[in-house]
Each structure stands twice: as structure tokens, then as C-alpha cells.
């Protein structure tokens, strides 16, 4: 059975790589795309890929109204992502979220709508399979090591902080336990802000500099020993394609919200 897909953010850095990969698949059909910049054109024309025949719309609402779909893939910006996801759920689509910056409150609202509509939402902070493995390894380590801190690296132009990857990692570790602090934050001498932000029980530091694409690092510490886990992405969006395709195929297999690609994989 072919999955009918609507892709929001189809002409962006990550979205265009995913669209080109979909053009080579046989079980996913990209029926519509969302891009304000290229609205009114065909996606194949914009991406120079003739196998992509779906039209581009300026808004998710317009695309969903014209082309009912099985899966809506959200790959835009935080300020419109929640509205896009809710609109897709109301139209009866399952949703994959690749946009970072949504809060826990946003996900609570999305979860309520998904449950009410009997649809699935898979939110993935990072589709790279190496990032998925980092999170699994970090969960294993957190069960044995009580102290850690997360460092989130991205380019100087990335506006949201921390990244979706760091948010997802902190949320997952919170289900195990909060990271212990030898010196409580309110007893810090000097600038407490230099200790990072307390997010879901983890200290998180966001670095934004030229030269980085997307990286996340978690450092676990015990007496006289440390463990460092790190995922680094290069300049292309290719690392995210395989995971995104897996997410599209799996999102219809459950109801409600799941966070993390590994939540639908057997690892």
C-alpha cells in the first residue's frame, strides 16, 4: 500500500533531501508540499526532480484541504509547527514532526488531539541513526551514573535553543531520573547562568557558532572517570533521510504521541 504524504518545508535544507529520496521510493507518494517561497509551482520543478509531481502550497491548511493524505511531515519552523500539526490531525492524517523548538506544553496539546482523533504523532529531534543510538546509550548510562550534563552545538544562525535533539535527550533521561548536582544551583557563587539551563532534570548548554551543523554531546561523570557520548552531523542533510523514511512508515502503527525514532524501532 502506497503512503500518501504531504511534506511541509519541502524546499528547505532537510526537506528537499527527504523529498528527493521519496522520489526514489515505491511505497511513498508525495502528493503535496508546503513552501511559502515557491507556492504555485510543482515540487519537481523547484527541485529539478521530474518524479516529484505534487503541487506546492503556501500553507499547510491549503495543502491538506486540496490533498488528503495518510501522513503529514512537519519540517518547517517552531512558530508555525504546532498549528500545522493540529491542522493535519484534524484532517485525519498521522504526523511526523521533524521541527525543533516545540515545548512540553505544545506536545501535551498535540497528544490530546491525536488521542481524540485516533491518530499517531511521532516527534523526532534528530532522524540520524547515530543520534538515535546515542540516546539509547545515554539511557543505559543514566541508570548507572547519576551525574551528567548535555552540550548542544549548532550553527550561529540557529534561533531555537536548545535544539530538538537536546530537548528529546533531556526528556528521555528525565524518565529515568534527574541528574544529581553536587552544588545546588541556588548555591552557585558568581553567575548561575554559566551553569546552563535546567531542562527536565538535566543541565543543558547551547553553543551557537559558525562551523557547526548539528551536534549533541552528553558527559557522564563519576569519581576519577568520565564517559562522553557525542553525535556529529556534517554539512549535508543526508544523515536524516533514512530515519525520516522509517518514521513515515511507522507513524501509522500507534495512537497518541511518541518521542524518539527508537520508540518505533526494535532496538
Q: For residue range 63-117, what is the model confidence (pLDDT) as tens digits?
A: 999 999 999 999 999 899 999 999 999 999 999 999 988 888 999 999 999 999 9
> Residue 136's pLDDT is what?
93
Q: How far, in Å, CA of 42 to CA of 168, rounded?
A: 34
Does the 3-127+237-264 domain belong in CATH 3.40.50.720? yes
Instruction: Specify the 3-state DSSP secondary structure of 39.
Output: coil
266 pLDDT above the threshold of 80: no
> Residue 134's pLDDT is what?
95
- The answer to whether the predicted template modeling score (pTM) of the entire model surpasses 0.95 is no
> Residue 187's pLDDT is what?
96
Between 203 and 214, where is the model more confident? 203
Q: What percent of the chain has pLDDT over 70?
A: 100
> Residue 219's pLDDT is what?
98
> Residue 114's pLDDT is what?
98
267 pLDDT above the threshold of 80: no
> Residue 241's pLDDT is what?
95
Q: How far, in Å, CA of 90 to CA of 117, rounded?
A: 7
Q: Report the first-to-last Cα separation within the chain, whole angstroms.
A: 25
List the chain domain ranges.
Answer: 3-127+237-264, 129-232
Query: Distances from the Cα of 110 to the Cαs of 11, 37, 95, 103, 126, in angstroms?
Result: 25, 27, 10, 11, 19
178 pLDDT above the threshold of 80: yes
Instruction: Specify the 3-state DSSP secondary structure of 157.
Output: coil
Does the 129-232 domain belong in CATH 3.40.50.620? no
Instruction: Please answer whether residues 148 and 141 qualify as being in contact, where contact means their C-beta atoms are separated by less than 8 angstroms.
Output: yes
> Residue 214's pLDDT is what?
87
Instruction: Please give the helix or strand (H or E) that residue 91 lies within, else none.
Output: none
Query: Distances from the Cα of 128 to the Cαs of 70, 80, 175, in angstroms?
Result: 23, 23, 22
> Residue 213's pLDDT is what?
86
The helix/strand count (H/E) of the chain reads as 8, 12
Instruction: Please answer whether residues 95 and 71 qualify as being in contact, where contact means their C-beta atoms are separated by less than 8 angstroms.
Output: yes
Assign 14 a pLDDT band (cuts: 50, 70, 90): very high
Q: How far, in Å, CA of 223 to CA of 150, rounded?
A: 18
What's CA 74's distance to the chain center, in Å?
A: 9
Mean of the per-residue pLDDT values of the chain: 95
Each residue's pLDDT tens digit, 238-262:
889 999 999 999 999 999 999 889 8
> Residue 265's pLDDT is what?
86
Amino acid at each position: 500500500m502506497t503512503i500518501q504524504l504531504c511534506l511541509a518545508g519541502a524546499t528547505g535544507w532537510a526537506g528537499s533531501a527527504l523529498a528527493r529520496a521519496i522520489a526514489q521510493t515505491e511505497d511513498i507518494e508525495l502528493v503535496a508540499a508546503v513552501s511559502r517561497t515557491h507556492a504555485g509551482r510543482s515540487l519537481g520543478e523547484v527541485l529539478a526532480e521530474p518524479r516529484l509531481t505534487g503541487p506546492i502550497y503556501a500553507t499547510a491548511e491549503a495543502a491538506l484541504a486540496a490533498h488528503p493524505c495518510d501522513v503529514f511531515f512537519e519540517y518547517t519552523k517552531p512558530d508555525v509547527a504546532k498549528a500545522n500539526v493540529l491542522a493535519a490531525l484534524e484532517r485525519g492524517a498521522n504526523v511526523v514532526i521533524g521541527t525543533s523548538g516545540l515545548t512540553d506544553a505544545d506536545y501535551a496539546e498535540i497528544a490530546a488531539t491525536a488521542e481524540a482523533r485516533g491518530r499517531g504523532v511521532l516527534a523526532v529531534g534528530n532522524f540520524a541513526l547515530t543520534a538515535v543510538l546515542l540516546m539509547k546509550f545515554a539511557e543505559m548510562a543514566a541508570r548507572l551514573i547519576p551525574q551528567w550534563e548535555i552540550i548542544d552545538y549548532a550553527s550561529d544562525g540557529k534561533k531555537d535553543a536548545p535544539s530538538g535533539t537536546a530537548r528529546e535527550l533531556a526528556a528521555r533521561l528525565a524518565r529515568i531520573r534527574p541528574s544529581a548536582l553536587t552544588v545546588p544551583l541556588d548555591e552557585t557563587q558568581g553567575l548561575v547562568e554559566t551553569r546552563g539551563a535546567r531542562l527536565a532534570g538535566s543541565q543543558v548548554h547551547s553553543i551557537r557558532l559558525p562551523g557547526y551543523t548539528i551536534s549533541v554531546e552528553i558527559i557522564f561523570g563519576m569519581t576519577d572517570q568520565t564517559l562522553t557520548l557525542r553525535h556529529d552531523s556534517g554539512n549535508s542533510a543526508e544523515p536524516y533521510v533514512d530515519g525520516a523514511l522509517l518514521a513515515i512508515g511507522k507513524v501509522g502503527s500507534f495512537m497518541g504521541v511518541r518521542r524518539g525514532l527508537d520508540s518505533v524501532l526494535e532496538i
